[in-house]
Amino acid sequence: SSVWFKCRSVRSQLHHPQVDSWTVAAMLSRHAIRGGLVAASMRRQFSSSPIVTTLSDKIQALAKKKAPQLTSLRKEKGDKVIGEVTVGMAIGGARGVKCMVSETSLLDPMEGIRYRGRTLEECNAQLPKAPGGAVGLPEASMWLLLTDEVPP
């Protein structure tokens, strides 16, 4: 590749009396960085699996559906104060502080965590498991959190 030829020409300058090792290192790193940028800008030469494409399509559809709701909420309630937060609350892990919009999970101090409205036990019962497994697969949990659906 062109980076190889450039590096080779830089190495040939090592024995030149006016080129010190720092200059050569800078020249080599410049060529290496340029080569890395070229490699990073190349198009992918492979495709994703069908399940990843399906998941991506579902997420895009959900984003299109939710965007107007979030825009409306920000427009109507954007300047409304939610509550007061103390330093102690922040240091204590922000327990009880209402400060984030999220639909994926809810931590109730009495019931524990809920994922998309389901308890951990309900998730384990509903999510697909590995053969012989008793716990839902991590990939299935991710699908549930991203789409609010139990995966096929």
Least confident range from 23-27, 60-64, 95-99, 120-124: namely 23-27
**Comparing 121 with 31, which gets the higher pLDDT?**
121
**Comparing 103 with 2, which gets the higher pLDDT?**
103
Query: What was the pLDDT predicted at 3?
Result: 42
> Which residue reads 């080599």 in tokens?
28
Average pLDDT (34-61) is 70
pLDDT in tens, 48-78: 678 788 888 998 998 899 889 888 888 898 8
Contact in structure between 3 and 34 (CB atoms under 8 Å): yes
Token digits for 38? Answer: 């070229």
Residue 42 scores a pLDDT above 70? no
Query: What was the pLDDT predicted at 127?
Result: 92
pLDDT in tens, 121-140: 899 899 999 999 889 898 89
Contact in structure between 99 and 107 (CB atoms under 8 Å): no
What confidence category does residue 103 fall into, taking pLDDT thresholds of 50, 70 and 90?
A: confident
Question: Closest Cα to residue 141, out of 105, 110, 89, 88?
Answer: 105
